[in-house]
A and B are shown apart, each in its own frame.
Chain A
Amino acid sequence: MARIYIFKRFERFWHWAQAALIIFMLLTGFEIHGSYRLLGWEKAVNLHTTAAWTLIGLWLFAIFWHFTTGEWRQYIPTSKNIIAVLNYYSVGIFAGTPHPFRVTQLSKHNPLQRLAYLLVKLLINPLIWVSGLAYLYYNEIAASKIAIIAGLQLGTIALVHTAAAFMMLIFLIGHLYLSTTGHTPLAHIKAMITGWEDVEADKPVAALVK
């Protein structure tokens, strides 16, 4: 086994802060929706709102980081090897065959990850943010003179926001599970904490090892 440094400090901070905020917002969000009672409605609303602004702040930094470092390229989708990866998770993983994808610093996500994360970034997140901000500023929207948005019903906004929240929840379930599919159950999680990922040394990755 060799180790390569793939998750930089900011990236790890961003990931874990975002994870905590999203899990917290799912908890408070579904309480606001009325699915259960946990913190009390008012507290849930206030904390959900604070968490939302915090996440927006974090996101601004993350977007800046992605573009200045060029890391945004990690999410460009590719169909290359995607069948092999799908095949691995549905068959190979049970047989103990090695993962067809090799992690490198330039390509840290397998094709399936790229697709999933891109979907989060381009579909789920925008849906949540736009509907969430519309939810927060519903009064201003309804009072605005802009016909297209002034007619927007709170029920519609809430519907989109809730649908996006369910998508995020389902992503989270899949993401949490797949994080245990490294060469040991905690390997990926450890990498996300330390930044260092174990890779098999018999492949020519030495040049990339720090």
Chain B
Amino acid sequence: MRTGIFMVALLASMLLTPAALAAADTDSDSAKLLKSTSDHTKFKALQQEFNSGPEVTKACLSCHTEAAKQLHRTEHWKWEYKTPQGQLLGKKTLINNFCISPSSNEAACNICHIGYGWKDDTFDFKSEVNVDCLVCHDTSGNYRKPAGLAGNVVTKAMEFPPGSGNIIKPINLTKIAQAVGKTSRDTCGACHFYGGGGDGVKHGDMDSSLAAPDKALDVHMDALGLNFACATCHMTQGHQVPGSRYAPTGRDKGEAHLRGKDYKTNPTTCQACHGQAPHKTNAKLNDHTDKVACQTCHIPKFARGGVPTKMSWDWSTAGKMGPDGKPLTIKDAKGHPTYMAIKGDFVLGDDVIPEYRWFNGTVTYTLRSDKVDDSHQPVQMNRYAGSASDGKSLIWPVKIMHGKQPYDPVNKTLVVPHTAGIDDTAYWTNFNWEKAIAKGMATIGEPYSGKFDFIATESTWPITHMVAPAKDALGCHACHAAGGRLEKVPGIYIPGRASDHARWLDTAGWALAALSLLGMLIHGLGRVLLSRRKN
């Protein structure tokens, strides 16, 4: 009997398996088909051997004729952005308190430019073939832009730096070009996760843990759930990516965006999907949305994915050699460097509680040409504008980055050192600040007195990624308490925050209550004693 059942089952499985496989095949085929009307492996233009990036771009442009012109208008290409207030920002000229500046270090830093060959200020921003399509549209995961080659790719094995014995493996551009598709967390992350020179270094709310996060780390990007790509929120139009931190929206007063309706506002805000009253079960929470950014409660901590972020970077201690005479590196228990001879001392942070600021979307930066006041340190690298009363601000979570970096104490300006390079003036090669700063300043054409010192700096970064699921959002007591998270946020009355109390009222109230109680007790005692005496 048992054998009989087994035989039937075996027979059934033999009959059914091919059918099931065929069905699965059709499913994946149709899924693929429904994703795109084009199969790039079938395009003649891509069926050739490519020896360089620009050759691929040329092939792309043979169909996507206007793509490069669109890209030329983006911040991703220009690395320039002029604020409504008239400040010229962008990586091209900005200075920060991480790696300081890509200027004079283009061959290394500009591998994160969406182009090929930006090695110095001779780069041709009008060139269409120098636009790098693959860095954003690769789906193979095999695309590489090695540091030191100014964003160019390697198609034949090469030794770099020359004489180092370090061989860079070539990549197969044909295969990569035939597999192009939409941007992904991986392609955006290839640069944005690694800002500041390493995984998670700069932002605190963006690191490689967001490549395939779980729900607890990011409720939207949850790889097994909603699986948002970056572009799901950063909805591009004509390759223009909205939601830049250079042009943030401090407070979005708009409704949730409806499809078909033409919105001029930033589509990346929480409100652009969730509107102004997103809390369904506890309506009182909606009373917060005119004062508190969604991020403040819904991103309880940053650097939550296991990748630490740099909270402080002290360049002044750089240059120490180890007992072996080689550049010193000190690592913490988890293997993350806390000291590197080429960079100095770091303080790393995991699961960091943000600081909180009123923010209306306007940020003013300290530029390379600006005078800094070294008698008032730390110098603010950027300032977040906003207040309780301007009607445009919300209370935002921010990361405060503490730095100590070289400056010119005579000219009172921050300086750009030439750090990365294989020449004799690069700091990472010769550990000589004089030469490195002189080279850097000569490259950018700013005056340099020849003297340098180190100055404490602070920069402010918005926290807006790593949105936790609702159940992990901050509870009321996180802020509605003495010494809560918003303890230092001015201009607003927060129930439960002791520093908001009128001290005279609390003192008088409790004192009068205590005196009444005391009076009553004395009165009562008198009654008891006198009635006893009578009896």
The residues of A with any CB-CB pair to B shorter than 8 Å are 32-35, 37, 40-42, 45, 93-96, 138-139, 142-143, 153-155, 158-159, 162-163, 165-166, 169-170, 173-174, 177, 180-181
**A34, A45, A158 — most chain B CB neighbours (10 Å):** A34
One of B476, B506, B517, B524 near A42 (C-beta < 8 A): B476
With A41-B480, A94-B526, A96-B531 given, is the CB distance from A33 to B495 under 8 Å? Answer: yes
Could you tell me the distance between the alpha carbons of A166 and B481 in the complex, rounded to whole angstroms? 20
Could you tell me the distance between the alpha carbons of A169 and B520 in the complex, rounded to whole angstroms? 14
Q: Which residues of A contact B480 (CB under 8 A)?
A: 32, 34, 41
Question: Given known contacts A158-B495, A173-B520, what 12 new A-B pairs fall within 8 Å (CB)?
Answer: A32-B480, A33-B496, A34-B480, A34-B496, A95-B530, A153-B493, A155-B493, A166-B505, A170-B512, A173-B513, A173-B517, A177-B523
Could you tell me the distance between the alpha carbons of A173 and B511 in the complex, rounded to whole angstroms? 13
Q: Is the CB of A33 within 8 A of B523?
A: no
B509 close to chain A: CB less than 8 A = yes
CB distance from B498 to the nearest CB of A (A): 5
Could you tell me the distance between the alpha carbons of A41 and B501 in the complex, rounded to whole angstroms? 16
Could you tell me the distance between the alpha carbons of A154 and B502 in the complex, rounded to whole angstroms? 13
Could you tell me the distance between the alpha carbons of A135 and B92 in the complex, rounded to whole angstroms? 50
CB-based A-B contact count at 8 angstroms? 82
Contacts A/B (CB < 8 Å), 9 sampled: A34-B497, A45-B284, A45-B476, A94-B530, A138-B287, A158-B495, A166-B505, A166-B512, A169-B513
Q: Is the CB of A34 within 8 A of B530?
A: no
With A162-B505, A162-B509 given, is the CB distance from A32 to B524 under 8 Å? Answer: no
B336 close to chain A: CB less than 8 A = no
B477 close to chain A: CB less than 8 A = yes
Q: Is the CB of B501 within 8 A of A170?
A: no
Q: Mark B502-531, 1 if CB is under 8 A from A, else 0.
A: 100110111011001100100110110011
B482 close to chain A: CB less than 8 A = yes
* Chain A, residue nearest B531 (CB): A96
B39 close to chain A: CB less than 8 A = no
Q: Is the CB of B530 within 8 A of A154?
A: no
CB distance from A11 to the nearest CB of B (A): 25
Q: Which residues of B contact A138 (CB under 8 A)?
A: 287
Q: Which residues of A contact B520 (CB under 8 A)?
A: 173-174, 177
Q: Mark B474-500, 1 if CB is under 8 A from A, else 0.
A: 011100111000000000110111101
**B497, B506, B534 — most chain A CB neighbours (10 Å):** B506
B290 close to chain A: CB less than 8 A = yes
Q: Is the CB of A158 within 8 A of B498?
A: no
